[in-house]
């Protein structure tokens, strides 16, 4: 192998009778847990893991030649790429929950291609990251560290979370984990969810709110934990964002598409609220995106779901969903 070649991890290479599963691009920290789960597909499928990161569609198509299934963690499948793979790929196994952001599910249904996701793999990882954004916006630790290294000592005041109100839009596994953390800070908790039962909220000392706009108006911090579906796309409107009080905070570690296009940027440009974002309409975020120029904003590159525990959970589910596919069973099937 030449110095320019990228190592490839392969299993059961002699079993040419078995279908081929390919992961054409990888996040490096995923390699160890993925490799540990490879025995799950023994005698069911060969596996080929490429050990570098690429988003080049031409390279993806080349690496996917002959593949019956694809493992996808973080790669957006354009309709153009999907059409090039559709003649031989029968299953996409995604390492995430909101796969509608990554592939055209209506198109995969038309093509008869199975799409699998993973569920509840990173509730704690995402909730902890959301609170990391909240803490940076209220305690400024990262900013103060940078100023200290530049020789400054003036510092700045922080904001207390104690006795303030957090509004959780969405109350699944992540939202409930957020409620547990918020209780530890002594926060009041409001919850809006499309199918919320009062007794469920009561388990977390949370107060249910019937109207999403009321949640925005009554909260000091609003954190979005809505899945992306046809019903939730654009659910958060400019009108609701207008109801955020000056000085309040909005956090999105869910999906950018649950907010009406352009509405959050317009609200932030007024300069009277703060925001922490881990998800964006276009990913990777273009260098000229106007969000990069918003001063009252903390951004991270869609990494809330990435932690050691979440990596282990999602890679295990990926392999289990593929094993189910080859056994003629169903697991985590979304299309």
CA end-to-end distance (rounded Å), the chain: 39
Same CATH fold assignment for domains 8-121+308-326 and 123-299: yes
What phi, psi does 313 have (nearest 5°)?
-65, -45
Q: What share of the chain in percent tops pLDDT 90?
A: 93
What phi, psi does 61 have (nearest 5°)?
-60, -45
Give the Cβ contact number of residue 84 at 10 Å.
17
What sign has the CA pseudo-torsion 268, 271, 274, 277? positive
Yes or no: say if 256 and 235 are a contact pair by the CB < 8 Å rule.
no
Yes or no: say if 181 and 210 are a contact pair by the CB < 8 Å rule.
no
Question: So what's the pLDDT on residue 41?
Answer: 98
User: Number of C-alpha atoms within 13 angstroms, CB side, residue 213?
Assistant: 6
- The 3-state secondary structure of the chain reads CCCCCCCEEEECCCCCCCCEEEECCCCHHHHHHHHHHHHHHCCCCEEEEECCCCCCHHHHHHHCCCCCEEEECCCCCCHHHHHHHCCCCCEEEECCCCHHHCCCHHHHHHHCCEEECCCCCCHHHHHHHHHHHHHHHHHCHHHHHHHHHCCCCCCCCCCCCCCCEEEEECCCHHHHHHHHHHHHCCCEEEEECCCCCHHHHHCCCEEECCCHHHHHHHCCEEEECCCCCCCCCCCECHHHHCCCCCCCEEEECCCHHHECCCHHHHHHCCCCCEEEECCCCCCCCCCCCHHHHCCCEEECCCCCCCCHHHHHHHHHHHHHHHHHHHCCCCCCECC
Residues with Cβ within 8 Å of residue 59, at least 6 apart in sequence: 24
For residues 307 and 311, what is the distance between their CA atoms, to the nearest angstrom?
A: 6
Closest CA to 249 of 213, 297, 299: 297
For residues 174 and 54, what is the distance between their CA atoms, to the nearest angstrom?
A: 30
Q: What is the pLDDT of residues 299-331, one digit of tens each?
A: 999 999 999 999 999 999 999 999 999 999 999
pLDDT averaged over every residue in the chain: 95
Give the model's confidence band at 4: pLDDT under 50 very low, under 70 low, under 90 confident, else very high. low
For residues 48 and 67, what is the distance between their CA atoms, to the nearest angstrom?
A: 9
Q: What is the pLDDT of residues 123-160, one digit of tens each?
A: 999 999 999 999 999 999 999 999 999 999 999 999 99
Closest CA to 172 of 190, 150, 191, 185: 191
For residues 48 and 13, what is the distance between their CA atoms, to the nearest angstrom?
A: 9
Q: What is the pLDDT of residues 61-119, one digit of tens each?
A: 999 999 999 999 999 999 999 999 999 999 999 999 889 989 999 999 999 999 999 99
Question: So what's the pLDDT on residue 22?
Answer: 98
Supply the Cα-derived Rg of the chain in whole angstroms.
22
Instruction: Give 8-121+308-326's CATH code, choosing from 3.40.50.150, 3.90.180.10, 3.30.720.210, 3.40.50.720.
Output: 3.40.50.720
Domain range list for the chain: 8-121+308-326, 123-299
Catalytic residue annotation: 255, 283, 302
pTM tops 0.85: yes
User: Number of C-alpha atoms within 13 angstroms, CB side, residue 175?
Assistant: 27
CATH architecture of 123-299: 3-Layer(aba) Sandwich (3.40)
């Amino acid at each position: 192998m030449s110095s320019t070649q990228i190592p490839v991890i392969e299993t059961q290479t002699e079993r040419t009778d078995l279908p081929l599963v390919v992961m054409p691009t990888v996040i490096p920290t995923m390699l160890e847990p993925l490799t540990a789960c490879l025995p799950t597909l023994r005698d069911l499928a060969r596996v080929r893991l490429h050990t570098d990161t690429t988003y080049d569609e031409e390279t993806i198509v080349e690496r996917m030649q002959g593949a019956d299934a694809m493992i996808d963690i973080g790669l957006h499948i354009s309709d153009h790429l999907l059409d090039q793979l559709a003649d031989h790929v029968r299953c996409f196994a995604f390492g995430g929950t909101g796969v509608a952001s990554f592939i055209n599910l209506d198109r995969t249904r038309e093509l008869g291609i199975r799409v699998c996701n993973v569920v509840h793999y990173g509730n704690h990882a995402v909730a902890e990251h959301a609170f990391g954004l909240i803490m940076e916006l209220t305690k400024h630790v990262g900013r103060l560290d940078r100023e200290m290294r530049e020789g400054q000592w003036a510092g700045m005041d922080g904001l207390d979370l104690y006795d303030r109100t957090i509004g959780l839009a969405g109350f699944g596994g992540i939202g409930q984990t957020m409620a547990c953390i918020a209780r530890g800070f002594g926060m009041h908790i409001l919850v809006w969810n499309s199918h919320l039962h009062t007794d469920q909220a009561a388990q977390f000392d949370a107060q249910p709110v019937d109207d999403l706009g009321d949640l925005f108006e009554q909260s000091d911090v609003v954190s979005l934990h809505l899945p992306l579906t046809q019903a939730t796309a654009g659910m958060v409107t400019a009108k609701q964002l207008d109801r955020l009080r000056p000085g309040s905070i909005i956090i999105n570690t869910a999906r950018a598409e649950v907010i009406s296009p352009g509405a959050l940027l317009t609200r932030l440009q007024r300069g009277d609220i703060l925001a922490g974002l881990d998800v964006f309409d276009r990913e990777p975020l273009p260098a000229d995106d106007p969000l990069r120029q918003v001063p009252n904003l903390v951004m991270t590159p869609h990494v809330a779901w990435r932690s050691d525990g979440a990596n282990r959970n999602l890679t295990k589910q990926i392999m289990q969903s593929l094993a189910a596919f080859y056994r003629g069973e169903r697991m985590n099937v979304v299309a």
